[in-house]
Amino acid sequence: MVTIIRYNAGNIQSVLNALERLGVQAVLTDDPAVIGSAERVIFPGVGEASSAMQYLRERGLDEVIRGLRQPVLGICLGMQLLASHSEENDTPCLGIADEKVRLLPQQAPDGSLLKVPHIGWNTVEFVPGHPLFEGLPEKPWFYFVHSYAMEPGDHTVAAAEYGRRFSAAVQRDNFIGVQFHPEKSAAAGERLLRNFLKMKIS
C-alpha cells in the first residue's frame, strides 16, 4: 500500500493522478496508524514552510514522519521539510537531513536577473548508479516550481543550477526528497516514480 500524507499543502491531486496512471491506488490520509503501516509513503506539497510545519506539529505528524522506517519520498515542499531549517519565515523543519533550505538568488553569477520562483524545466545531474534515476539519461529534464531550495550537502544525490547550485534530490537512509515535480515531468517523472515504487532500502 502506498500512502500519501495529507496536510495543508497543495498539489496532492496531481500526485494521486500520476500514481493512478501507473496503476497504483494510493491512500490519502493524516492517520498516524495508516501512515505507519504503509509499504511506502509519499510526502508531497506546494506551500509555505512555517504553516506546513505548524500543521504537522499540531497533529503529531512531525514525530510520525521522523519515525517512519519504510521508503519515504518527499516532493517539493515535502523535500524541504526534511531539512534542519528553512529560511522561509525562519522555520525549524524535521531535521531528517542536515542541509538547510535557502531562498533562491534573484541574480545569476554573470549579473543577469533571475525570476523567483523558479518555474519550468531544468536538467538534473545525479550520482551515477543511484536507483532513483535508473533508466534515465545522464542529465534528465524535470519540472520545477519553487522559490527555496536545499543546499548541497552530504545527503545530496542529484543537483541542479538556478543562480546557484542546489540539491535536486537527497537521500538519508529510507528518506528520499526531490525538489522537482515528478508528477509533472512527463516520461522522466513517470520513470522516477516507478523507480521509487520498486526501490529496496535497507
Q: Which residues are tagged catalytic?
A: 76, 181, 183
Cβ–Cβ under 8 Å, residues 14 and 184: yes
Contact between residue 183 and residue 15 where contact means Cβ atoms under 8 Å apart: yes
Long-range contacts of 132-136 (CB under 8 A, 24+ apart): 132/157, 132/158, 132/169, 132/171, 132/176, 132/178, 132/192, 132/195, 132/196, 132/199, 133/158, 133/192, 133/195, 134/191, 134/195, 135/191, 135/195, 136/188, 136/191, 136/192
